[in-house]
Amino acid sequence: MKKQIISLLAASAAAFSAAVFPAFSAGEHFDLDGDHKVDAFDMVLARQGGLPESELADLQAFLLGNSGPGSSDTEYTIDESCILEPKGTVHTGEGTFYGGGYEGGCAMLDPVSRDYWIVAMNLADYNGAQLAGAYIQVTGELGTINMLVTDLLPEGKKGDLDLYTDAFPLIAPVEKGRVPVSWKIIPLDSAENAPMSYKFKEGSSPFWCGVQVRNHRYPITKLEYLNDKGEFVEINRRPYNYFESMEMGPGPYTFRITDIYGQQVIDRDIPLSEDDTVIYEGHAQLPE
């Protein structure tokens, strides 16, 4: 389907004209992949199809105007290079169960709310903490549940999950121990009505800082801070899910957050906290 769309775009790019643009306000002409919504993947197809810069600018403007509630504190953009996979991609593997994850998980998300079922993810998909804090929908022979990725399954193959003990019986008989499962990333439900939040690591100061993004709608792939030259600088991420830097200064910070779908949001006026028990609520949230 996408190959056909790309071919059509390449063949007809020159035929697009200003006369067509008024209909773009409804959005249907931007839905290049036919999934009934306009998102980063339509922009990817548009670029691959060779759409002229003027029409790409119109598509970008449409995306910025329809990706979320705008305000002086939030700006939405798209970084196509960060797209990990299409939304709704289904993964398959084997599911097992264990008793950890609410405290001391590799994603360092303590305290983890007991409102969520928790799960450990294989090393390949966890990908150096890229899917730390991901909210996933897991399906087995008995049913489907939503789970929060809080821990790592080092011995697992790509696609494998280790479910919390009490959650496993909801998707498969306990006596089986190891079962086929499928899973996909879904939006974190608590992000629907709340902004992202930030937790600073113990020992953070103006001279060294570790910061963690929480309550993100989708998994985070990149965190940047705005330096005194007005440039966004990427912060190195550790496998234990903290972004760490010796150059961020005393704050307050302006952060640019990029998720695995290339969606970006800017969050301003985030103060440095030297108290690692404080979780600071920001002002912005990633779009759907």
Q: Which fold has domain 192-281?
A: Immunoglobulin-like (2.60.40)
Task: Kindly indicate whether the domain formed by 91-185 is annotated with CATH number 3.40.50.450.
Answer: no
Q: What is the pLDDT along the chain (288 residues), one digit of tens a residue?
A: 444 444 444 444 333 333 333 333 445 677 777 766 776 667 767 776 777 877 777 777 776 655 443 333 456 788 888 999 999 999 999 999 999 888 899 999 998 999 999 999 999 999 999 999 999 999 999 999 999 999 999 999 999 999 999 999 999 999 999 999 999 999 999 999 999 999 999 999 999 999 999 999 999 999 999 999 999 999 999 999 999 999 999 999 999 999 999 999 999 999 999 999 999 999 999 998
> What is the 3-state secondary structure of the chain?
CHHHHHHHHHHHHHHCCCCCHHHHHHCHHHCCCCCCCCCHHHHHHHHHCCCCHHHHHHHHHHHHHHCCCCECCECEEECHHHCCCCCCCCEEEEEEEECCCCCCCCCCCCCCCCCCEEEEEEHHHHCCCCCCCCEEEEEECCEEEEEEEEEEECCCCCCCEEEECCCHHHCCCHHHCCEEEEEEECCCHHHCCCCCEEEECCCCECCEEEEEEECCCCCEEEEEEECCCCCEEECEECCCCCEEECCCCCCCEEEEEEECCCEEEEEEEECCCCCCCCEEECCCCCCC
Domain boundaries, the chain: 2-66, 91-185, 192-281
In this prediction, residue 148 carries a pLDDT of 98
